Amino acid sequence: MAEAYIVAAVRTAGGRRGGKLYGWHPVDLAAQVIDALLDRSGIDPAAVDDVILGCVSQVGEQATNVARNAVLASRLPESVPGTSVDRQCGSSQQALHFAAQAVLSGSMDAVIAGGVESMTRVPMFSPNALPAKAGMGRYMSPAMQARYPDVEFSQFAGAEMMARKYGIEKAALDRYALESHHRAVAAAQSGRFDDEVVPVEIRDAQGAGTGALHTVDEGIRFDASLEGISAVKLIAEGGRCTAATASQICDGASGVLVVNERGLKALGARPLARIHHMSVLGHDPVIMLEAPIPATGRALEKAGLKIRDIDLYEVNEAFAPVPLAWLQSLDADPARLNVNGGAIALGHPLGASGTRLMATLVHALHRQGKRYGLQTMCEGGGMANVTIVERL
């Protein structure tokens, strides 16, 4: 049977809005990750069959096929193509799925999958806001409006719906956010991120190098306290979620190199993991963020596994109600969830988050000597990808 293997998995440390990655054009930032995958795997650059990158805000500096542009900014030869994917927050996780499907089919042997998002230089909602200002309309068609009358799809509203539906109070959300920071602090201070993080030089606003390296996620609050988190104002009056219990706006890039048996033999490298299962599911677009729950249940059934068989889980912390409701619904072990912190502490660079989570998951499995890892994340439009990997 054909197999798909991850042989390298890397990411940049996250940058805060206007922070240490502000000086990087997102194309060049993605190219840094591509070059790091070449270095760590030892693959001949000409042997890469394709580059698939996730990116949500494909406008401005991230427009005109950011994946191909990243190829042209990297050490890859011009013969390597590139294509860009938008499955909202799951974009680079979907890029990984497409890469795995390509090598499983035998049509390709080695594919780089990843993602990039500069939320500083290309602000969130730009693909909607800029055309609206130019009088070019909006994404909701008349048929969509007829099917969902008087609905304004909103992740913020979805987070509040999740909290209420699953009976998760603000105090629980605040405690979860604090735990995310505590886990990220422990991981950063003990060097657990060292194997996955690509050091990049900090650039000034003009793009000139400063000589200093960015290696630590800027979003981590090393002095986080429950008092401080609890004092943050609510996003919506009468709601339960705050900015402190939501993912942080973040700049970053991430990627993995996926190969099949032929690619592995040609490379002569030992794989980090085997892709055991991958699937995607559509769900209610109004509550929007609930999809990881049914998607995980379906994925486990298809894979012939139980939640107790999974050693580590990465569930994207778009908002704290998402992982908490996921734990509750699946009767999963909180000690196995986001063991090095999640997007509340590390940031959520939209299109880069999928392979960011996978890089963290694969390296955590190796560090702990565990077998199976599962990754899932909620996505705009009410979808969720699920990927199960086996450490090798």
By annotation, the residues acting in catalysis are: 89, 348, 378
Cα–Cα distance between 315 and 150 in angstroms, integer?
31
CB atoms inside a 10 Å sphere around CB 129: 13
Instruction: Label residue 112 exposed, middle or buried (CB < 10 Å: 0-12, 13-18, 19+).
Output: buried
Instruction: Label residue 375 exposed, middle or buried (CB < 10 Å: 0-12, 13-18, 19+).
Output: buried
User: Can you give the C-alpha Rg of the chain in angstroms?
Assistant: 20
Token pair recorded at residue 129:
């806001």
- For residues 338 and 78, the answer to whether their CB atoms sit within 8 Å is no
- The amino acid sitting at 188 is A
Place of tokens 């990655």: 21
What are the φ and ψ backbone dihedral angles of 264, each rounded to 5 degrees?
-65, -45
Query: CA torsion, points 363, 369, 374, 376, in degrees to nearest 10?
Result: -30
- For residues 283 and 377, the answer to whether their CB atoms sit within 8 Å is no
Of 28, 188, 199, which is closest to residue 116 (Cα–Cα)?
Answer: 28
- For residues 187 and 197, the answer to whether their CB atoms sit within 8 Å is no
Angle separating helix axes 155-165 and 321-330, nearest 10 degrees = 40
Cα–Cα distance between 376 and 281 in angstroms, integer?
11
CA distances from 115 to 67, 100, 357 (A): 8, 15, 11
